[in-house]
Amino acid sequence: MKKSITYSAAFISFFIVFFLSIAHFITTRSLINRIREDNKILTSEIYNSLAAYITDAVIIAKSMANDYYLIENLKKESFHTEEENIALFSQYLEHVKEPFSYAFACIISDQSRRYYRNDGLLKIVSPETDASDAWYPHFLAGDRRYTATVWRNPDNEEDSLLFINYAIQDHDHILGVVSASLYIRDILAKIAEYEKLYNIRVNFTDATGLVQIDRNYRDIGTASLAHLVLSQNSETETTFKKLGASGFAAVKWIPELSWYFVVRNTHKTVSFIYMNWFYLLSIVLFIIAVCLLFTLRKYFHAPRAVFPGQKKHVDVLTGLPNRNFFKDMYGERGVFNTTRYVSLAVFDIDFFKEANDNMNGDDVLVSVVKHMLALLKDNGLVLRWGGDEFLVLFELPIDNAYKLCRQFCKDVAQDALVTVSVGLTTIRLADTIKKNYYRAAQLCYQVKEVGGNGVIKG
């Protein structure tokens, strides 16, 4: 009899939970749709204001690049003295800059490599000797006629700039590049108004998810929102993603910039009445669920939560970012797009094949990685490149990184399991990522040729 009552109570409880769950689902869906519609209007309003402010600069740069007057004077540049050219182009650029309150308007002549600005001649562009000019040949060699590029001022972040660079062409001949530049602080001032008013977070990212505009200057060029933007499934519509209980992320592609516009909201946006209903329903469901679990404890088990991360970016054995992560972050551009990392090292395990035959190879790899992570702490990033080869990006000058690598070799050798060879080099922004990597890899091989267990920097 008791058993029959228990089953009856469990049966009734199951249907109560079932119908309450349906009611909860319908209510939640209704709230989500309401939130989505409200935020669709909000996101559209913010996008129309902020994106238009930036894309207007694209239109101005395009107009300059196709200006017959400018093209003809660039073609005749060699017929005038430097002073005459500076006066002519500076006056032209001042007329462009003044009505729009841009930070600067610029022209780079491909013939003379002079960098004209509205306030005079800035410099002679020299990618071969000045790392800050490395962007110029990469831009001209690219397949896009214009790009949006953020430059962080190392001396004063408040003076950081957004450049809209547009190639000047006379038929198939490149004459140079024009730029319309905006102060990042002016864009952030507009963003701050919306963030304060609506309690949201606004960002612009490049096509890989790397943050280009953020109220925290340290996140520009270093932080990533790839987990939000890379799942964007439309280049015309705004995509919404739920964050937490009632937050959201809205992502929209900006074709004029090849950037993403991201709005995040993590605060509660549902009305007080609806939230009270949700909390009351949750409490009822919890009580019924507890009773049901006690009744049918032999048949139900609590499920384990599974984190929906991107497995392709993580090495399963060590938990480190892998080569796929590196390619997705930097591979499309071919050059380092951040000054965060200063030095680069390549290391691998000496005579790893013999070690793998005599010991557990996986344990050896994990042990070596732990030594590097313990020394590196928050001063860089370790990636598993493949097999027993690893790559380290240091936020340290090469001398400090060299001391760390020497200690790393000593720590690994003290375990009496294996030794490591390390090649260390300074990252040259003017070089491609491949050149920086091969330079460090060659130094690593030099260590191996003399028996391993050491560091060479160069």
Contact 162, 148 (CB under 8 A): yes
pTM attached to this predicted model: 0.51
- Extract the tokens encoding 440: 């460090």
Beta bridge pairs of residue 109: 176
SS3 240: strand
- Extract the tokens encoding 30: 């209704």
pLDDT recorded at residue 398? 95
SS3 8: helix
pLDDT tens across the length of the chain (458 residues): 334 444 555 566 566 656 666 765 666 666 556 656 666 677 788 888 888 888 889 999 999 999 999 999 999 999 999 999 999 999 999 999 988 888 999 999 999 999 999 999 999 999 999 998 999 999 999 888 999 999 988 889 889 999 999 999 998 899 999 999 999 999 999 999 988 888 889 999 999 999 999 988 889 999 999 988 877 666 677 888 877 666 778 888 888 888 999 998 765 544 444 555 555 666 766 677 666 656 554 443 333 322 233 678 888 888 898 888 888 777 646 777 778 899 999 999 999 988 888 888 888 999 999 999 999 998 999 999 989 999 999 999 999 999 999 999 999 999 878 999 999 999 998 888 889 999 999 999 999 999 999 999 98
Question: Cβ of 209: how many Cβ atoms within 10 Å?
Answer: 22
Concatenated DSSP letters for 374-386? HHHTTSEEEEEEE
pLDDT recorded at residue 304? 31
Rounded-to-integer distance, Cα 164 and Cα 74, Å: 20
Contact 144, 331 (CB under 8 A): no
In Å, what is the CA distance from 395 to each residue of 133, 138, 306, 325, 403? 22, 25, 33, 18, 14
Going by their DSSP bridges, the two strands 343-349 and 389-394 should be labelled as: antiparallel
> Which is nearest to 36 in space by CA: 191, 265, 200?
265
